[in-house]
Amino acid sequence: MPKGVYNVPFPENEPVLAYGPGSAEKASLKKAIEEARAKQADIPMYIGSEEIRTGKKLPLNPPHDHQHVLGYFHEGDSSHVQQAIDAALGAKEAWAELSWEHRASIFLKAADLIAGPYRARINAATMLGQSKNAFQAEIDSACELIDFLRFNAHYMTEIYQDQPESSPGVWNRLEYRPLEGFVFAITPFNFTAIAGNLPASAALMGNTVVWKPAYTQIYSAQVIMEVFREAGLPDGVINLIYVDGPVAGDVVFNHPDFAGLHFTGSTGVFRHLWKTIGQNIDKYKTYPRIVGETGGKDFIVAHKSANAKEVATAIVRGSFEFQGQKCSAASRVYVPGNLWDDVKKYIQEDLKDIKMGGTEDFSNFVNAVIDEKAFDKIAGYIDYAKNNDMSEIIAGGGCDKSKGYFIEPTVVVTKDPQSKTICEEIFGPVVTVYVYQEERFEETLELVNSTSPYALTGSIISKDRYAIELASKKLVNAAGNFYINDKPTGAVVGQQPFGGGRASGTNDKAGSALNLLRWVSPRTVKETFIPPTDYRYPFLQEG
């Protein structure tokens, strides 16, 4: 069969649709939402060639309307985890052998399906199941997922093209083999794109995968799986199971063929999984790859030279988009005294204007937090701030879970730079501000660097270039994604590779070649054209 050295289509970021009044995309999204609300989905697990319905059905509800039932998913148990591992191992050889261009084609087709016929459906599923407004759903479940799929196919070819030098008479080659075993992808509730990318990136590199999403993301996970199947993903390459985390972990982390963990979620869970893998290390055939992107306590530092309106806008968008449930969300802010009155005024004006409610009404900027457990935890932090002498709530503070899990965008101002709300990850629409004396900028940078164990995202807002350089240096390890004069959220695949250090993760940068490299185990091949036939060095010969 003729072969060539192929180039995948060069990736470009998927344009973000605006969903403006009267637009075709708005009409089709509204229709998809209505259709989804009108029926009850019956969502199976996907293991090998089978759709598994266990009969143990758990409901899926919109967080902003928790009495409405979108459908049910079938929960599995440890036997389904074993079945999924068997399916992954059974599919492994054929998938690893398949030429890379065919693996790329499947995921490129998946990207086109999401960009086209599935766009409204996957966005509607994310809006209803995870309570994201239309814009937040569009940048996540459509654009970011499409970008992950297209850019990763391109990065895969860059990796394959990275080949060693060869000396005369020798040809050296690197084969980027998939890992020996299966990969376990564990995904969080908050990004549909991350849920799709964690299994897909490992599969693209030739691995087979067991994928366990968060229960609160299953409604959109099913659409992802439908897309992968329609794109031609062979049975068993990605096996989607709905099993309680510890139950799944107990089977996976005791399996000799466990070869890699691709995790995104909280720091506590990741540390627990890492320890378990460490304790079981003697059981595995290979050293498992461990990739985990985890929690954050992301900061904005404003310098005295900053524009107060720009600072306020960065706080409002960075802290409250998707209810602050982005790992990148700004949740601690350091504002100089000379700017505070203006920044406070602008934030209060914006928050008076912002509407909160269900995602079906496109004029709502803020929607509900994901579930009752998250609601109670976030409300607990707000209660703490209300009862703490050193803290004052200057906006928001209201919580109501009667119809949906609604928490007002809340701004806490604290006089204690080590207060609970400025140190701990809250993962909700609560931001804490510390007002510092403007001449103490350098000391404040030390404070920013040392206050939190996390190091995911952060930003400096300043018109003074010396201050920007100082912050960039002092905060060099305080964030894996550092922003200058911008909010710390909204990284774009191919533009700002995403991930953090310290307690925020292994910083393998999702949506980049650095991440894909974790899913291969290279083999070096040296071929000698004319092998020697004499063992002796020249100097051993007489004369």
Ligand X SMILES: N[C@@H](CCC=O)C(=O)O
Ligand Y SMILES: NC(=O)c1ccc[n+]([C@@H]2O[C@H](COP(=O)([O-])OP(=O)(O)OC[C@H]3O[C@@H](n4cnc5c(N)ncnc54)[C@H](O)[C@@H]3O)[C@@H](O)[C@H]2O)c1
Based on the residue annotation, tell me whether 293 is a catalytic residue of this protein: yes
Out of ligand Y, ligand X, none, what residue 503 binds, judged by CB under 5 to 8 A for its kind, is none
Q: How far apart are CA 510 and CA 504, in angstroms?
A: 13
Q: Given candidates 190, 267, 331, 364, which one binds ligand X under the rule CB under 6 A?
A: 190
Helix (H) or strand (E) holding 460: strand 457-461
Q: Output the smallest distance, CB 303 to ligand Y, in A.
A: 27
Q: Output the smallest distance, CB 374 to ligand Y, in A.
A: 7
Q: How far apart are CA 161 and CA 462, in angstroms?
A: 41
Q: How far apart are CA 210 and CA 182, in angstroms?
A: 7
Number of residues this chain uses to bind ligand X (CB under 6 A): 9
Contact between 136 and ligand X (CB under 6 A)?
A: no
Q: Which is nearer to ligand Y, 189 or 405 (CB)?
A: 189
Q: Which is nearer to ligand Y, 151 or 436 (CB)?
A: 151
Residues that bind ligand Y (CB under 6 A): 186-191, 194, 212-214, 245-246, 248-249, 264-266, 269, 272-273, 293-296, 327, 425, 427, 456, 498, 500, 504-505
| From 144, 327, 399, 408, active-site residue | 327
Out of ligand X, ligand Y, none, what residue 490 binds, judged by CB under 5 to 8 A for its kind, is ligand X
Q: Which is nearer to ligand Y, 236 or 265 (CB)?
A: 265
Q: How far apart are CA 42 and CA 528, in angstroms?
A: 59
CA distances from 198 to 193, 455, 515 (A): 9, 21, 10
Q: Output the smallest distance, CB 327 to ligand X, in A.
A: 4
Out of ligand Y, ligand X, none, what residue 487 binds, judged by CB under 5 to 8 A for its kind, is none
CB 504 within 8 A of CB 293: yes
Helix (H) or strand (E) holding 472: helix 465-474
Closest CA to 264 of 290, 282, 229: 290
Closest CA to 142 of 113, 112, 119: 119
| From 144, 293, 360, 425, active-site residue | 293
Q: Given candidates 73, 189, 191, 454, which one binds ligand X under the rule CB under 6 A?
A: 191
CA distances from 190 to 126, 252, 266, 387, 491 (A): 9, 24, 11, 30, 15
Q: Given candidates 498, 502, 505, 519, which one binds ligand X under the rule CB under 6 A?
A: 498
Tokens of 61: 């509800």
Q: Output the smallest distance, CB 162 to ligand X, in A.
A: 26
Contact mark string toward ligand X, 454..493, x via CB under 6 A: -----------------------------------xxx--
CA distances from 464 to 441, 468, 477 (A): 12, 6, 21
Alpha carbons within 13 angstroms on the beta-carbon side of residue 89 total 14
Out of ligand X, ligand Y, none, what residue 424 binds, judged by CB under 5 to 8 A for its kind, is none
Q: Could you give the residue numbers annotated as active site?
A: 293, 327
Binding site for ligand X (CB under 6 A): 190-191, 326-328, 489-491, 498
